[in-house]
Chains A and B, each alone.
Chain A
Amino acid sequence: MSIAHDDRGRAMPGAGFMARALGDSIRKLDPRTLIRNPVIFTVEIVSALVTVVFLRDLADGGDAGFSGQIAAWLWFTVLFANFAEAVAEGRGKAQAASLRRTRAETVARRLGDDGSVEQVPGTTLRAGDLVLVEAGDIIPSDGEVIEGIASVDESAITGESAPVIRESGGDRSAVTGGTRVISDRITVRITAAAGNTFLDRMIALVEGARRQKTPNEVALSILLAGLTLIFVIATATIEPFARHAGGSVPIVLLAALFITLIPTTIGGLLSAIGIAGMDRLIRFNVLATSGRAVEAAGDVDTLLLDKTGTITLGNRVATEFIAMPGIDLFDLASAAQLASLRDETPEGRSIVVLAKEKYGIRAHEMSELNARFVPFTAQTRMSGVDHGDVAIRKGAIDAIEALVDGTAIPRDWSVAVERIARTGGTPLGVVRNRRLLGVIHLKDVVKGGIRERFAELRAMGIRTVMITGDNALTAAAIAAEAGVDDFLAQATPENKLDLIRREQAQGRLVAMCGDGTNDAPALAQADVGVAMNTGTQAAREAGNMVDLDSDPTKLIEIVGIGKQMLMTRGSLTTFSIANDVAKYFAIIPAIFAATYPQLGALNVMGLATPASAVLSAIVFNALIIVALIPLALRGVRYRAVGAAGLLRRNLAIYGFGGVLLPFAGIKAIDLVVAALGLA
């Protein structure tokens, strides 16, 4: 099973899913849970109040038809808001359920201090325990391999079916509870007690059970509660005002006015937006430990990106052959290709490809030539072929030079080697029978389209800093080619940490990703630290996000998802508040129709009757929540156009649109209401 789904983001839910969400929305009517959402809780109270009025009307022959309809639509408003939340949660719940199935009861083989092995239930393990895991076993809890090497099937977590290697020492030592060892045996030191494992946290996360409001969400809730209070004052004072004019306003109308004015739209969708934001990350195979981290991602000012794998393709590629004087270029290419035929490293293969594509040299068959391949070793630092009395070698420059020790090294050789190094490349020497043929230029290849991505980030106001172990010269060359804003050469864990602190001291928020144990301090220091799932347990603990695909490029998308969540919230808030203008024009003339018929002049929409005007406004108010659920779940589209452009665009759509749309919407509903004779 996998939590990696299609990420088109709108996997249409089935009927069962909808039924469950509907059930949930009714369960959520419980005031004890609803009180977490003050705006909708207020709507519920008012709904109850109007229901009482409706019952009284029924009893004493009042206009129960009207108060009944208003009461019904008020309840719908609450239900629609609950439904939005239920739908958002539903997707997570389905994922959690299947995750939970993998958290089967395991039996662990615990190692005693004396080396004895004891069978215990996985749930009794504590941090620090040592357990033995063999092929076919499920790893009982999160831990660190302290002995051995094994291939592990982590598809339960990552959805990736190819097994991965886990070994003691180094950066691939973390194992996750719930994954299965398929070969060999390892000794694991448990790092997380039962109930607190990565899998447990993941379930809690996708379920939204421990969802806490993010800082901006808290602030927004305060704003919405404040607006609600203001409109309590505005509506509560209407009756005395009307009485001064010798009239009176029925409570049902005041209730309707109040509910349409308070920000029910954003109030109803607020938590759905938050859940959907987390959900988008999860479907993107990134787990965030908190919503706070997702929000922080939207605020990031500086991105620290590892050169290898993020900015450049992980492997260097041969791009050029440079022949020495008196050597035919074709000859060099042919020799280099021959030396690389059995070299299965990406660099080796790229040499074969270059020779073929640029010089049209057909790949020889080793068997035809009756050649013997000489593999690369750490001692020789070169590889090649021997066939007959011809020995071709390619390898590190100093190793090749050592091989031809005694013969004169041509000046062109040094010039070529230096030029390649200066541009950020790696030179590889080729020699045949102690004769220097030439140099292969292995180049760090900057990923296609990455330059444009960085330009986009710059437009968003985000600085990119490339982190590399290369020397400053090489780093500068690659940085210039990739178009990053800055780079940190000869990076060490210490100067990486310093860089983050420096940026933060200037008020910037920093995001980075890392996998090694020595990345942990920097991951912890960064505002957004994305740990690679292939990394060490220490790194995964230090970061506030884990990328299950271990793809460092994702940092850029994570920022986009964070921004999208904030934008969706801001846009719908603006929309919700802007809606009030039209609602006033619908309801004010209606509620004072008896006292001051002159105010009918404010009925700019030409609504049929006062009752239909009020009903239409309340229906619009309820339906708009449902209409906006897809947008809340999908999120407002993010474009890399900078803040000014985003503001202009979103203000036009959600601000002006928010003012205008309800005029049309309420009028349309009024036509229907009047046609059906509902009011």
Chain B
Amino acid sequence: MTANGWLQIAVFCALVLVLVRPLGGYMARLFSGERVFLSPVLGPVERVLFRAAGISAKQEQGWIAYALSMLAFNLAGLLITYVVLRCQDMLPFNRQGLPGLPPDLAFNTAVSFTTNTNWQAYGGETTMSYFSQMVGLTVHNFTSAATGIVLAIAFIRAFSRATAKTLGSFWVDLTRCTLHLLLPMAIVLALVLVWQGVPQNLDPYVSATTVEGTRQTIAQGPVASQVAIKMLGTNGGGFFNANAAHPYENPTPLSNLLQMVAIFAIGAGLTNTFGRMVKDERQGWAILSAMGVMFLAGVAIAYGAEASGNPLITALGVDGGNMEGKEVRFGIANSALFATATTGASCGAVNAMHSSFTPLGGLVPLINMQLGEIIVGGVGAGLYGMLLFVVLAVFIAGQMVGRTPEYLGKKIESREVRLAFLALLVLPLAMLGFTAVAAILPEARASLANAGPHGFSEILYAYTSAGANNGSAFAGLNANTPFFNLTLGLTMLIGRFLMIVPMLGVAGALVAKKRLPPSAGSLPTHTPLFVGLLVGVILVVGGLEFMPALALGPVVEHFALAAGQTF
């Protein structure tokens, strides 16, 4: 580890923190229906859309209608993408004449982008036409992100409103989020990225004759527009197979910094939106602090492990930390930081190959995802996931102060506990359950590139990533087989929607409750003590169940590596 490495980490954190209040305030105003700076331009567009859709901007929905609308919208989007991918050979902008995708891969990919996972069982430049990239995939980068954000807003309203029936209108929230928040940010970021060197064209792949005279085909495409939103919306699906490690997707340290900030910007801002909407910004800061504590711990472990390198390679007379799978322009600090951020958030973009990380370096992304990606988290998903943990933490600890547990004046009772637990139960069930199945199926084992504990980690990572809707991979696993495409697709659906529906149920129960005035007897939820408690509950309730699996993967690999054992 170097001082300069930590300086970069500090600058990254500072940039994210600086954006928290402006973005948080903007979103609070936007979702409270106030006028924002683009209203004069986009207001008429909105009105046309609402009229065409037959909805009124004032008509709100209860939690069931909100959930059904969300499901209908996502199902429609999923089907369109499936069809686009299957038929891309008949659609325009297919410069390389790529064939339509087989059904299992099309299903997996359509699910993957709909669920904000962006798991990629394919290599972008060898599989997807430009039309598929734009219409099939970029669209979901917007809408799945918007879905996550508006769900978080609905959950926030459960606390900011009292004795109410509705959580807002999914349609209105979704449209405003896409038009006023994601689109302007994406346009600006895309242009900055082009300035740094990210291509944006519809050209055919370039054929070059290299200096030494060999032929090199260089993939092209509308890269910047997709990369910008894949980061802002924590989607993470690379335009190219190598994702943000690819020099075209992420050409400079500056583009790297901006992309990392983009991953955290909206998610971190939402904590402030939460604070503002419940009229106590400290609550938002407390949640962000809990995220921050876990984030910094993860960065420190990952950075330390990667910087100290692979002892087996060092023993061969090699000098330096672990650079396998990393890019020279980013170096070790930025790679460890990116890995921690992309898995803390539900992004899944990678600027270095996690599979080639040291065992402890690879353990951090795994744990981040297993905890449910609540370290800032996927846009929206991170906040509502975190708030579910808050509900549990308040319930467990709240009784310790001798009162029925309450959070922000809302009593946490059996219905909320049941639904919150249902939502949190989904993750270990999908992640561990499918890993167990794949671990013993011979056809699944045939997909492994690495033997020994690392091979197990590849499977565990795949289902963890899918269940958490992350999308990054220990990419040694060849996941483009019918078995993996199908089971990972299911895992993504479970991890997304089986969590969302009970979460909205919690919101529906909470929004109807009275708000109790705070007193000296109520549990303070903005103090460092509570932050510590929350982190403890997350680690113990959300993390302990993964210990056996982690022990058999990265943990044992760590001890094996220290003992000089190879597989």
Chain A contacts to B: CB under 8 angstroms? 215-216, 218-220, 222-223, 226-227, 229-231, 233-238, 240-245, 257, 261, 295, 298-299, 301, 458-463, 506-508, 562-564, 566-567, 569-571, 573-574, 577-578, 580-581, 584, 588, 592, 595-596, 598-599, 601-602, 638, 642-644, 646-648, 650-651, 654-655
Partner of B432, one of A233, A571, A601: A233
Question: Closest Cβ of chain A: how far from B467's Cβ, in Å?
Answer: 12
Q: Which residues of B contact A234 (CB under 8 A)?
A: 428, 432, 544-548
Instruction: Give the distance in Å from the alpha carbon of A104 to the alpha carbon of B295 in the complex.
Output: 70
Whether the Cβ atoms of A588 and B425 lie closer than 8 Å is no
How many contacting A-B pairs (Cβ < 8 A)?
A: 213
Partner of A237, one of B401, B402, B436, B556: B436
Q: Which residues of A contact B556 (CB under 8 A)?
A: 592, 596, 598-599
Whether the Cβ atoms of B400 and A567 lie closer than 8 Å is yes
Q: What would be 7 A-B contacts, judged by CB atoms less than 8 Å apart?
A: A219-B412, A223-B395, A234-B428, A240-B440, A577-B396, A598-B559, A602-B555
Contacts A598-B560, A599-B555; is A573 near B399 (CB within 8 Å)?
yes
Instruction: Give the distance in Å from the alpha carbon of A565 to the alpha carbon of B459 in the complex.
Output: 46
In the A-B complex, the 10 residue pairs with the smallest Cβ-Cβ separation, listed nearest first, are A461-B521, A570-B399, A563-B402, A461-B519, A226-B421, A219-B414, A598-B559, A461-B520, A570-B400, A244-B439
Instruction: Give the distance in Å from the alpha carbon of A567 to the alpha carbon of B409 in the complex.
Output: 19
Q: Which residue in chain B gives the minimum CB-CB distance to A217?
A: B414
Q: Which residues of A contact B392 (CB under 8 A)?
A: 223
Chain B contacts to A: CB under 8 angstroms? 162, 392, 395-405, 409, 412-414, 416-418, 421-422, 424-425, 428-429, 432-433, 435-437, 439-440, 445, 453, 455-456, 459, 514-517, 519-524, 527, 529-530, 533, 536, 540-541, 544-549, 551-552, 555-556, 559-560, 563, 565
Whether the Cβ atoms of A241 and B533 lie closer than 8 Å is no
Q: Which residues of A contact B409 (CB under 8 A)?
A: 507
Q: Which residues of A contact B514 (CB under 8 A)?
A: 507
Instruction: Give the distance in Å from the alpha carbon of A588 to the alpha carbon of B545 in the complex.
Output: 12
Q: Which residues of A contact B544 (CB under 8 A)?
A: 234, 261, 580-581, 584
Q: Which residues of B contact A219 (CB under 8 A)?
A: 395, 412-414, 416-418
Instruction: Give the distance in Å from the alpha carbon of A12 to the alpha carbon of B398 in the complex.
Output: 32
Partner of B440, one of A244, A566, A650, A651: A244
Instruction: Give the distance in Å from the alpha carbon of A595 to the alpha carbon of B560 in the complex.
Output: 13
Instruction: Give the distance in Å from the alpha carbon of A598 to the alpha carbon of B564 in the complex.
Output: 11
Q: Which residues of B contact A231 (CB under 8 A)?
A: 545
Question: Closest Cβ of chain A: how far from B421's Cβ, in Å?
Answer: 4
Q: Which residues of A contact B395 (CB under 8 A)?
A: 219-220, 223
Whether the Cβ atoms of B400 and A222 lie closer than 8 Å is no
Q: Which residue in chain B gives the minimum CB-CB distance to A600?
A: B559
Partner of A651, one of B400, B432, B540, B549: B400
Question: Closest Cβ of chain A: how far from B105's Cβ, in Å?
Answer: 25
Whether the Cβ atoms of B552 and A596 lie closer than 8 Å is yes
Whether the Cβ atoms of A237 and B524 lie closer than 8 Å is no
Q: Which residues of A contact B418 (CB under 8 A)?
A: 219, 222, 226
Contacts A244-B456, A638-B402; is A643 near B524 (CB within 8 Å)?
yes
Instruction: Give the distance in Å from the alpha carbon of A648 to the alpha carbon of B563 in the complex.
Output: 43
Instruction: Give the distance in Å from the alpha carbon of A195 to the alpha carbon of B556 in the complex.
Output: 66
Whether the Cβ atoms of A570 and B517 lie closer than 8 Å is no
Q: Which residue in chain A gives the minimum CB-CB distance to B440?
A: A240
Taking A244-B439, A244-B455, A650-B400 as known contacts, 16 extra A-B pairs with beta carbons closer than 8 A to each other, sorted by chain A number, are A223-B421, A226-B417, A234-B548, A298-B404, A461-B522, A508-B516, A569-B399, A571-B400, A580-B544, A588-B551, A599-B555, A602-B555, A643-B521, A644-B529, A647-B529, A651-B533
Whether the Cβ atoms of B523 and A216 lie closer than 8 Å is no
Q: Which residues of A contact B437 (CB under 8 A)?
A: 240
Q: Which residues of A contact B399 (CB under 8 A)?
A: 216, 220, 566-567, 569-571, 573
Contacts A237-B435, A241-B552, A588-B548; is A646 near B540 (CB within 8 Å)?
no
Whether the Cβ atoms of B417 and A301 lie closer than 8 Å is no
Q: Which residue in chain A gives the minimum CB-CB distance to B459?
A: A244
Whether the Cβ atoms of B403 and A298 lie closer than 8 Å is yes
Q: Which residues of B contact A571 (CB under 8 A)?
A: 399-400
Whether the Cβ atoms of B521 and A301 lie closer than 8 Å is yes
Question: Closest Cβ of chain A: how far from B215's Cβ, in Å?
Answer: 43
Instruction: Give the distance in Å from the alpha carbon of A570 to the alpha carbon of B519 in the complex.
Output: 20
Whether the Cβ atoms of B551 and A648 lie closer than 8 Å is no
Q: Which residue in chain A gives the minimum CB-CB distance to B455?
A: A244
Instruction: Give the distance in Å from the alpha carbon of A321 to the alpha carbon of B249 in the complex.
Output: 95
Whether the Cβ atoms of B516 and A507 lie closer than 8 Å is yes
Q: Which residues of B contact A229 (CB under 8 A)?
A: 425
Q: Which residues of B contact A581 (CB under 8 A)?
A: 540, 544
Q: Which residues of B contact A222 (CB under 8 A)?
A: 414, 417-418, 421
Instruction: Give the distance in Å from the alpha carbon of A220 to the alpha carbon of B455 in the complex.
Output: 39
Question: Closest Cβ of chain B: how far from A72's Cβ, in Å?
Answer: 25
Q: Which residues of B contact A458 (CB under 8 A)?
A: 520
Whether the Cβ atoms of A233 and B551 lie closer than 8 Å is no
Whether the Cβ atoms of B516 and A301 lie closer than 8 Å is yes
Whether the Cβ atoms of B563 and A598 lie closer than 8 Å is yes
Instruction: Give the distance in Å from the alpha carbon of A230 to the alpha carbon of B404 in the complex.
Output: 25
Question: Closest Cβ of chain B: how far from A635's Cβ, in Å?
Answer: 10
Whether the Cβ atoms of A226 and B403 lie closer than 8 Å is no
Partner of A241, one of B435, B517, B527: B435
Question: Closest Cβ of chain A: how far from B50's Cβ, in Å?
Answer: 36
Instruction: Give the distance in Å from the alpha carbon of A588 to the alpha carbon of B519 in the complex.
Output: 44
Instruction: Give the distance in Å from the alpha carbon of A244 to the alpha carbon of B456 in the complex.
Output: 7
Instruction: Give the distance in Å from the alpha carbon of A581 to the alpha carbon of B545 in the complex.
Output: 10
Partner of B519, one of A243, A462, A573: A462
Q: Which residues of B contact A507 (CB under 8 A)?
A: 162, 409, 514-517
Whether the Cβ atoms of B397 and A226 lie closer than 8 Å is no
Q: Which residue in chain B gives the minimum CB-CB distance to A462?
A: B521
Partner of A245, one of B517, B545, B552: B552
Whether the Cβ atoms of B402 and A564 lie closer than 8 Å is yes
Q: Which residues of A contact B547 (CB under 8 A)?
A: 234, 584, 588
Partner of A644, one of B398, B433, B453, B524: B524
Q: Which residues of A contact B540 (CB under 8 A)?
A: 577-578, 580-581
Q: Which residues of A contact B521 (CB under 8 A)?
A: 301, 460-462, 642-643
Instruction: Give the distance in Å from the alpha carbon of A460 to the alpha carbon of B522 in the complex.
Output: 9
Whether the Cβ atoms of B413 and A215 lie closer than 8 Å is yes
Whether the Cβ atoms of B440 and A643 lie closer than 8 Å is no
Instruction: Give the distance in Å from the alpha carbon of A648 to the alpha carbon of B545 in the complex.
Output: 27
Instruction: Give the distance in Å from the alpha carbon of A237 to the alpha carbon of B436 in the complex.
Output: 6
Partner of B533, one of A230, A235, A655: A655
Whether the Cβ atoms of B425 and A230 lie closer than 8 Å is yes
Instruction: Give the distance in Å from the alpha carbon of A220 to the alpha carbon of B398 in the complex.
Output: 12
Whether the Cβ atoms of A599 and B551 lie closer than 8 Å is yes
Instruction: Give the distance in Å from the alpha carbon of A567 to the alpha carbon of B517 in the complex.
Output: 21
Most chain A beta-carbon neighbours within 10 Å: one of B162, B433, B436: B436
Q: Which residues of A contact B424 (CB under 8 A)?
A: 226
Whether the Cβ atoms of A563 and B417 lie closer than 8 Å is no
Instruction: Give the distance in Å from the alpha carbon of A226 to the alpha carbon of B536 in the complex.
Output: 18
Q: Which residues of B contact A508 (CB under 8 A)?
A: 516-517
Contacts A298-B404, A596-B556; is A655 near B536 (CB within 8 Å)?
yes
Whether the Cβ atoms of A643 and B555 lie closer than 8 Å is no
Question: Closest Cβ of chain A: how far from B228's Cβ, in Å?
Answer: 38
Q: Which residues of B contact A240 (CB under 8 A)?
A: 435-437, 439-440
Partner of A215, one of B404, B436, B530: B404
Contacts A223-B396, A577-B541, A581-B540; is A643 near B401 (CB within 8 Å)?
yes
Q: Which residues of B contact A463 (CB under 8 A)?
A: 519
Q: Which residue in chain B gives the minimum CB-CB distance to A644?
A: B524
Q: Which residues of A contact B440 (CB under 8 A)?
A: 240, 243-244
Instruction: Give the distance in Å from the alpha carbon of A569 to the alpha carbon of B402 in the complex.
Output: 9
Whether the Cβ atoms of B436 and A216 lie closer than 8 Å is no
Q: Which residue in chain B gives the minimum CB-CB distance to A246?
A: B452
Question: Closest Cβ of chain A: how far from B528's Cβ, in Å?
Answer: 10
Partner of B433, one of A237, A242, A506: A237
Q: Which residue in chain A gives the minimum CB-CB distance to B435?
A: A237
Instruction: Give the distance in Å from the alpha carbon of A50 to the alpha carbon of B412 in the complex.
Output: 38
Question: Closest Cβ of chain B: how far from A379's Cβ, in Å?
Answer: 51
